[in-house]
Structure 1
Amino acid sequence: MAKTADNTAALSGDRTTPAEPPLPFVVGELLEDILHGIGAEARQRVHTAGFEDVRAAHDCVFRFLEPEGLRLRDLAERAGMTPQGIGEHVDELERLGYVERVPAPGDRRAKLIRPTERGTAFIEAGLAGMREIEREWNEAVGPRRLAQMRQALEAIRELQAPRA
């Protein structure tokens, strides 16, 4: 939409309406900023714990990985990716020693992707870092406000679930 000299928005032809006041940050932008900040802080903490070779791109694997393992197609589905796309990350994490492919029970052709001992240690370090970040938030805003934020975000996530 084009803006005119008197700060109006040209809608069509010669019709103009006063421009809306600039919007403050929308909640989605705030959440995105917070998410990026959490990611950077969590990565710094796990790097400090000795896992310097894990990249942000690997989050798509670790977020959905289960201790007993998952088939590649199931991991891809949970991550909202193609098997080929997530397979590249799995291949890299396997080379780095964080995951392994093992035969699936009952299907000799299928493989399960599961964390190795190093992968489990990484996941535990990541979770410990996230708990520490939440403790810092708790100290900053107080337990009541943090609980209210969590409840509000959970309610919003439920609203989004049918759309995803």
Structure 2
Amino acid sequence: MSRVELARLSRKPLIAIVDRANRALQADMVRQGHQDGHPELKLAHNAVLGTLSIDGSRAADMAVRAGITRQSMGEVIRELVSLGILEMRPDPEDGRAKLVTYSEHGREVAADGYAHLRDLEERFEAEFGPEDYEVARDVLSRVAELLDHWAAERSEEAASG
């Protein structure tokens, strides 16, 4: 049996660069949360806090946005409820569904997180310059849009084919 030859790229793949940046940003958010007086925060909480809308969200919708299973999302939500950061209540639009919302303490945690995000945006813009930073943001947005578009095209081809 012959071995399949693995062709190496001539430079670090974009997926590795984006993944490294994402992990650094995620860790930075937790570190800052700890410095802001929220030592209970951990990396797994980012999937919830990063997808929860200010007015509340359904866990299933949050799981889709975070790219994790509903079970995993539910587990982290329950942990954040036990920590007093989140609350669950009946969804006024669907009595069978639950709406995840911030508790009063959770709103403080979120306010601190949003303040840190604003600070990061300002610091990145100062570091790279407004034009270069806007280009970086635009390119990353376009990469995601292209990948979604190409995936939809492949799905259509597979369905018709």
Q: Which residue of 1 aligns with 2:20?
A: 33
Residues 96 and 155 (structure 1), Cα distance of their counterparts in 2 relative to 1, 3 Å cut: same
Q: 2:55 & 2:101 partners in 1: Cα distance?
A: 6
Structure 1 residue runs without a partner (length 5+):
3-9, 13-18
Residues 80 and 39 (structure 1), Cα distance of their counterparts in 2 relative to 1, 3 Å cut: closer
Does 1:160 pair with 2:147? Answer: yes
Residues 71 and 137 (structure 1), Cα distance of their counterparts in 2 relative to 1, 3 Å cut: closer
Q: CA deviation at 1:106?
A: 4.6
Structure 2 residue runs without a partner (length 5+):
153-161
Structure 1 SS opposite 2:88: strand
Structure 2 SS opposite 1:111: strand
Structure 2 SS opposite 1:152: helix
Residues 37-95 of structure 1: CA distance to partner in whole angstroms, max 9, x if unpaired?
A: 11222211111111110111011111111222222322223333332221111110000
**2:90 pairs with 103, 109, 123, which one?**
103
Q: CA deviation at 1:11?
A: 5.6
Higher share in strand:
1
Higher share in helix:
2
Q: Which residue of 1 aligns with 2:52?
A: 65
Tell me, yes or no, if the aligned pair for 2:125 and 2:133 is still in contact at 8 Å. yes
Q: Scaled by the length of structure 1, what TM-score is found?
A: 0.79
Q: Which residue of 2 aligns with 1:113?
A: 100
**2:75 pairs with 88, 94, 106, which one?**
88
Q: Which residue of 2 aligns with 1:79?
A: 66
One-letter amino acid of the counterpart of residue 86, structure 1: M
**1:127 pairs with 114, 118, 127, which one?**
114
Q: Which moved more, 1:130-139 or 1:74-83?
A: 74-83
Q: How many percent of aligned residue pairs carry the same amino acid?
A: 29
Larger radius of gyration: 1
What stretches of structure 1 move > 4 A for 4+ residues in a row?
A: 19-22
Tell me, yes or no, if the aligned pair for 2:26 and 2:46 is still in contact at 8 Å. no
One-letter amino acid of the counterpart of residue 21, structure 2: I
Q: CA deviation at 1:137?
A: 1.8
